[in-house]
């Protein structure tokens, strides 16, 4: 499924895989303390934006998460650090900080994904 949605969005399947690994540990029924749900840990507003009917359906979560990731890569002109920061902390936070925000969790999130992705 990861390969299929990544190809459909025109993004690297390894990147989608590492985001899913980091977000949920590949657990489709994961729920974060902040309310993010599913494999790609999408917040309810993001689920609505991408018309996700069931956030715990792995395919719907992967499709929406991949679309979000693609839109962030486009917004930040392919800059992986900024796109991943925005996936984690929100694009408004990234825009206000002018780069990767000085949030320990976000910095660790970006570093963890990039370390595995770039190997």
DSSP 3-38: HHHHHHHTS-HHHHHHHHHHHHTT-TT-B-TTS-BT
Q: Which entry of 4, 7, 23, 63 is annotated as an active-site residue?
A: 23
Gap between the Cα atoms of 101 and 85, Å rounded? 7
Phi, psi at 42, each rounded to 5°: -95, 135
23 is a catalytic site residue: yes
Task: Please return the burial class of 104, using the count of CB atoms within 10 Å of its CB with bins 0-12, 13-18 and 19+.
Answer: exposed
Cα separation of 81 and 79, whole Å?
6
Q: Point out the residues that are catalytic.
A: 23
């Amino acid at each position: 499924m990861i390969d299929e949605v990544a190809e459909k969005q025109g993004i690297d399947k390894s990147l989608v895989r590492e985001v899913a690994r980091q977000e949920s540990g590949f657990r489709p029924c994961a729920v974060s303390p902040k309310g993010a749900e599913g494999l790609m840990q999408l917040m309810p507003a993001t689920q609505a934006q991408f018309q996700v009917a069931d956030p715990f359906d792995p395919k719907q979560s992967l499709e929406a998460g991949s679309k979000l990731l693609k839109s962030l890569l486009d917004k930040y002109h392919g800059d992986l650090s900024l796109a991943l920061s925005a996936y984690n902390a929100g694009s408004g936070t990234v825009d206000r900080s002018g780069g990767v925000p000085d949030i320990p969790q976000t910095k660790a999130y970006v570093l963890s994904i990039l370390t595995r992705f770039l190997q």
